[in-house]
Amino acid sequence: MAFGLLSTGVLELASDADADAMPGSGTVSDSHLARAHAALQRRDWDEAVAEARLALAADPQATEARRTLVVALRRTGRRDEWADEVRRAARLAAQHPDVWREAGYLAALQGDMEEAVRSWQLYLAAAEEGPDVDRARAALEAAALIRELVEGHFHA
């Protein structure tokens, strides 16, 4: 039956070029992701957000696009959108160290020092050295101290 549909022209086989242009293909997602990274380099946060969202529309499982969206949203200062995306990323892209770092900051903002400590510990165990690691290490120490002081208050 399929042969008959193909031979009469009712159905056509898609070429590799057609597949590259289809929604959900890696090429579409990758091109938007490249534009999102370029926008981040130029400090064009809104364009980075838009391109990362387009990359995710093409490939909802694209971990790097989700991480890029989290970073871009944080840079825009749109805290509620950032928090929503951090939560989404923690569910969908939890294996990425940058997601753990952002989840730690979100937990700290919400006053959940236990979750902040856990998230930053995961991040520090997987991350490479750099300014983000130094900040996360300092945040971890501060959160652990706050948690310790609060617990001590109840045992005093």
Beta carbons of 152 and 144 less than 8 angstroms apart? no
From residue 101, alpha-carbon distances to 6, 79, 89, 143 in Å are 52, 15, 11, 13
* Contact present, 81 and 72 (Cβ < 8 Å): no
- Nearest to 49, CA basis, from 23, 19, 74: 74
pTM of the predicted model as reported, rounded to 2 decimal places: 0.71
The 10s digit of each residue's pLDDT in 96-147 is 888 889 999 999 999 888 899 999 999 999 888 888 899 999 999 998 888 8
Does residue 5 register a pLDDT over 60? no
The pLDDT of residue 54 is: 95
In a domain, 87, yes or no: no
Tell me which residue has tokens 């939890």.
94
Residue 2 has pLDDT above 60, yes or no: no
How confident is the model over 73-82, as pLDDT tens digits?
999 999 999 9
Confidence check: pLDDT of 30 > 60: yes
**What does the CA dihedral 96, 99, 104, 105 come to, rounded to 10 degrees?**
150
Residues 74 and 132 in one domain: no
Q: Indicate whether 8 belongs to any domain.
A: no
Shared domain check, 99 and 69 = no
151 vs 77, 133, 147, 148, CA distance in Å? 32, 26, 6, 5
Domain range for 137: 94-156
Contacts of 134 (CB under 8 A, 6+ apart): none
Domain count, the chain: 2
Shared-domain flag, residues 99 and 138: yes
Residue 12 has pLDDT above 80, yes or no: no
pLDDT digits (tens, 9 = 90+) for 37-73: 999 999 999 999 999 999 999 998 888 999 999 999 9
Task: Indicate if 39 and 70 belong to the same structural domain.
Answer: yes
Selection from 60, 70, 131 nearest residue 98 by Cα: 70
How sure is the predictor about 94, in pLDDT bands with cuts at 50, 70 and 90?
Answer: low
Q: Report pLDDT for 26.
A: 56
